[in-house]
C-alpha cells in the first residue's frame, strides 16, 4: 500500500501485478504498459533479467528508504499539476483475444465511487477491513481506498489462513475484523468448509462479495450461523470503478437467486434490447452503464475502447458515453438478475438461449450441484451440462429443470466431473471446460444416450 501511495505522490499511476502470473503473461504486461520502473517487494530473478533486456529500472522495496529526504516543495509541484481525469491505477482483465486488457481507473472515478459507497453503507473509522484478494485484483482497490477514506484499519490476511479455515476465523477475531470485501470464491470456500458451524467471526458487521454469482445455498450457510450481519451482493464489470449496483440481502425473504439490486448514486444502469428499447417484465437485455465511475477505457487500445464505450443509444443530442458491458440481465418483478454473457448466447432450434441461465436455473432448484457449466456442441447441435457435486440421475435433473425452463433449454447430455476447471481467481473456466469436453468426446470417453 505504501508503494501505491508513493506512486500517486510521484504523479504517476501504478499497475499491480502478481509475481505468480505466468512469465509470458507478465512479459506481455510489461511490454504493453511500456513501464519504466518495476518495484517489487521481494527480488525476482526472472523479472530482473527481463528488465535488463528492456531498459526498465528494477527496484526492490528495501532500497526505497536508503538515505532519502522528502522535498515537500517538489511534491507540492507534482500535486498542483494533477488532474482528476488522470489515471490513478490500471488493472488487467482477461480479453477475448487471449491477451489481457489494461483498464485505466482515474482519480475522478475512484473518488466518486468512494463518496457514493460511503453514502450508502456508512462505514466507520472503528471498522477493520480484512483484505482477501491479491492487489492485482480490482476488488482489492476497495480495501485500499475505502479503508483510508473512512480512516479505518486494513489487515492483510496471510494466504495460509485460506488453507485452514479455523485459522482464518481465529485471525478475523484476533484483529476484530468488521468488514469483508471478498471474492465470491472466498465466501464459497468458507461456506463449503463447514467451519461456521464450529467457529464464528465475532465482530463482523458487513460482508460484501462480488466477481460472480453466489448461490443462495452457499449464502444460507453464512446466514444460518451469522444472522445479524449485512450481506451485500455487488455488481460491476472491471470497466467500472468499484461497483455500480448493490443488493442488501433480505434474510426474511425466501430468495432463490440474488438480484443485482439498486444502483449507486451518480450512476445509471440501463438494460436494453437489441432495438435499444428498455426491457419490460421477464425480458432479457444487455446492461449499459453510464456515470461517474466509468473507467477511461483500455490502455493503448483505442479501437476496442471505442467499441465498448459508446454513445448513449437513447439519444444523439450531445456526447454521453456509456459502457456496453456484454452482460445480460432479465427483469423479474422489478428486479434485475444477471443471466450471462452475450458471448455465451447460442441459437438452438430457432431460439436464442443464454447458457448461463440453464446453470442458474439448476442452482435455484437443488443444492446438490456445487457447480455446473452449460456448453453447446455445435457439431451435435446439442446442449451439454457438465456438473460437479452430489450425483443426480439424468432423469431427475431433466425433471428438475423442466419445472423452471422451457423444453428447448433442457440439456441433452449430463457429464459429471470430480472438479470443473477454475481460473486463477477461482472462477469457473468455461474455455477449459469446453476443451475438456472435446477431449473426452474425441477420445470416445462419452457414451451416446
Which 8-state DSSP code applies to residue 228?
A: S
Given the complex with other proteins, which of 13 and 189 has the nearer CB atom? Answer: 13
Closest CA to 264 of 243, 280, 279, 248: 243
Given the complex with other proteins, which of 149 and 337 has the nearer CB atom? Answer: 149
Given the complex with other proteins, which of 30 and 385 has the nearer CB atom? Answer: 30
Q: Kindly identify the residues of this chain, within the stretch 1-30, that bind other proteins according to CB under 8 A.
A: 1-20, 29-30
Compute the distance between CA of residue 401 and CA of residue 393 in angstroms, rounded to an integer.
Answer: 12
Torsions phi, psi of 239, nearest 5?
A: -70, -10
User: By the 8 A CB rule, do 209 and 221 touch?
Assistant: no
52 membership: H or E segment, kind and range? helix 45-53
Given the complex with other proteins, which of 39 and 410 has the nearer CB atom? Answer: 39
Question: What minimum distance in Å lies between the beta carbon of 299 and other proteins?
Answer: 9
Q: Kindly identify the residues of this chain, within the stretch 64-93, that bind other proteins according to CB under 8 A.
A: 64-65, 68-71, 74-75, 78-79, 82, 84, 88
User: By the 8 A CB rule, do 346 and 357 touch?
Assistant: no
Q: Does 203 bind other proteins (CB under 8 A)?
A: no
Question: What minimum distance in Å lies between the beta carbon of 113 and other proteins?
Answer: 11
Torsions phi, psi of 447, nearest 5?
A: -100, 150
Question: What minimum distance in Å lies between the beta carbon of 265 and other proteins?
Answer: 12
- Compute, in degrees rounded to 10, the torsion defined by CA atoms 50, 55, 61, 65: 160
User: By the 8 A CB rule, do 157 and 130 touch?
Assistant: yes
Which 8-state DSSP code applies to residue 229?
A: S
Question: What minimum distance in Å lies between the beta carbon of 9 and other proteins?
Answer: 3
Q: Does 134 bind other proteins (CB under 8 A)?
A: yes
All three cell numbers of 230, joined, read 449485512
Q: Kindly identify the residues of this chain, within the stretch 37-56, that bind other proteins according to CB under 8 A.
A: 37-42, 44, 47, 56
Given the complex with other proteins, which of 135 and 437 has the nearer CB atom? Answer: 135
Given the complex with other proteins, which of 17 and 207 has the nearer CB atom? Answer: 17
Q: Kindly identify the residues of this chain, within the stretch 368-397, that bind other proteins according to CB under 8 A.
A: none
Q: What's the Rg (C-alpha) of the chain? A: 23
Given the complex with other proteins, which of 1 and 226 has the nearer CB atom? Answer: 1
Q: Does 33 bind other proteins (CB under 8 A)?
A: yes
Question: What minimum distance in Å lies between the beta carbon of 80 and other proteins?
Answer: 10
Question: What minimum distance in Å lies between the beta carbon of 188 and other proteins?
Answer: 21
116 membership: H or E segment, kind and range? helix 107-121
Question: What minimum distance in Å lies between the beta carbon of 68 and other proteins?
Answer: 4
Q: Does 349 bind other proteins (CB under 8 A)?
A: no
Question: What minimum distance in Å lies between the beta carbon of 303 and other proteins?
Answer: 20
Given the complex with other proteins, which of 33 and 233 has the nearer CB atom? Answer: 33
Q: Does 265 bind other proteins (CB under 8 A)?
A: no
Binding flags for other proteins, 143-162, as an x/- string (CB under 8 A):
--x-xxx-x-xxxx-xx---
Q: Does 139 bind other proteins (CB under 8 A)?
A: no
Given the complex with other proteins, which of 38 and 374 has the nearer CB atom? Answer: 38
Q: What is the DSSP string of 295-358?
A: ---BTT-HHHHHHHEEE-TT--SS--EEEEEEEEEEEETTEEEEEEEGGGEEEETTEEEEHHHH
170 φ/ψ sector (left φ>0, alpha ψ -120 to 50, else beta): alpha
Question: What minimum distance in Å lies between the beta carbon of 201 and other proteins?
Answer: 16
| Burial tier of 275 (Cβ tally within 10 Å: 0-12, 13-18, 19+) | exposed
Q: Kindly identify the residues of this chain, within the stretch 220-239, that bind other proteins according to CB under 8 A.
A: none
Q: How far is CA 432 from CA 19, 38, 439, in A?
A: 23, 32, 10
Cα-to-chain-centroid distance, residue 183: 7
Amino acid at each position: 500500500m505504501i508503494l501505491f501511495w508513493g506512486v500517486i505522490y510521484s504523479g504517476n499511476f501504478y499497475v499491480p501485478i502478481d509475481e505468480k502470473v505466468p512469465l509470458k503473461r507478465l512479459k506481455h504486461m510489461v511490454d504493453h504498459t511500456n513501464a519504466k520502473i518495476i518495484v517489487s517487494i521481494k527480488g525476482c530473478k526472472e523479472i530482473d533479467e527481463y528488465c535488463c533486456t528492456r531498459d526498465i529500472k528494477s527496484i526492490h522495496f528495501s532500497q526505497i528508504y536508503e538515505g532519502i529526504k522528502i522535498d515537500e516543495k517538489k511534491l507540492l509541484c507534482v500535486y498542483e499539476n494533477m488532474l482528476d481525469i488522470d489515471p490513478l491505477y490500471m488493472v488487467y482483465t482477461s480479453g477475448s483475444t487471449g491477451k489481457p486488457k489494461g483498464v485505466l481507473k482515474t482519480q475522478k472515478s475512484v473518488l466518486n465511487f468512494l463518496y457514493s459507497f460511503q453514502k450508502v453503507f456508512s462505514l466507520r473509522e472503528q471498522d477493520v477491513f480484512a483484505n482477501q484478494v491479491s492487489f492485482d485484483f480490482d476488488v482489492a482497490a476497495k480495501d485500499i481506498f475505502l479503508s483510508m477514506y473512512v480512516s479505518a484499519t486494513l489487515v492483510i490476511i496471510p494466504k495460509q489462513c485460506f488453507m485452514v479455515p479455523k485459522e482464518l476465523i481465529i485471525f478475523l477475531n484476533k484483529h476484530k475484523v468488521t468488514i469483508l470485501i471478498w471474492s465470491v470464491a472466498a465466501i464459497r470456500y468458507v461456506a463449503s468448509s463447514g467451519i461456521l458451524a464450529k467457529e464464528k467471526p465475532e465482530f463482523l458487521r458487513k460482508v460484501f462479495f462480488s466477481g460472480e454469482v453466489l448461490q443462495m445455498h452457499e449464502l444460507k450457510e453464512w446466514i444460518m450461523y451469522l444472522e445479524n450481519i449485512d450481506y451485500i451482493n455487488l455488481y460491476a464489470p472491471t470497466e467500472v470503478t468499484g461497483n455500480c449496483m448493490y443488493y442488501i440481502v433480505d434474510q426474511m425473504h425466501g430468495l432463490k437467486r440474488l438480484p443485482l439490486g439498486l444502483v449507486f448514486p451518480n450512476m445509471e444502469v440501463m438494460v436494453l434490447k437489441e432495438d435499444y428499447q428498455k426491457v419490460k417484465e421477464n425480458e432479457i437485455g444487455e446492461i449499459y452503464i453510464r456515470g461517474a465511475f466509468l473507467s477511461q477505457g483500455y490502455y493503448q487500445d483505442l479501437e476496442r475502447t471505442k467499441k465498448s464505450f459508446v454513445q448513449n443509444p437513447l439519444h444523439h443530442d450531445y456526447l454521453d458515453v456509456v459502457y456496453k458491458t456484454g452482460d445480460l440481465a432479465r427483469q423479474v418483478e422489478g428486479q434485475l438478475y444477471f443471466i450471462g454473457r452475450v458471448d455465451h448466447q447460442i441459437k438452438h432450434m430457432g431460439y436464442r438461449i443464454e447458457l448461463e441461465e440453464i446453470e442458474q436455473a439448476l442452482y435455484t432448484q437443488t443444492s446438490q450441484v456445487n457447480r455446473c457449466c452449460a456448453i453447446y456442441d455445435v457439431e451435435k447441435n446439442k446442449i451439454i451440462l457438465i456438473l460437479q457435486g452430489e450425483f443426480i440421475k439424468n432423469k431427475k435433473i431433466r425433471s428438475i429443470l423442466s419445472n423452471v425452463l422451457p423444453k428447448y433449454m433442457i440439456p441433452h447430455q449430463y457429464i459429471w466431473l470430480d472438479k470443473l476447471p477454475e481460473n486463477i481467481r477461482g472462477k469457473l473456466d468455461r474455455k477449459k471446460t469446453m476443451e475438456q469436453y472435446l477431449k473426452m468426446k474425441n477420445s470416445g470417453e462419452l457414451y451416446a444416450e
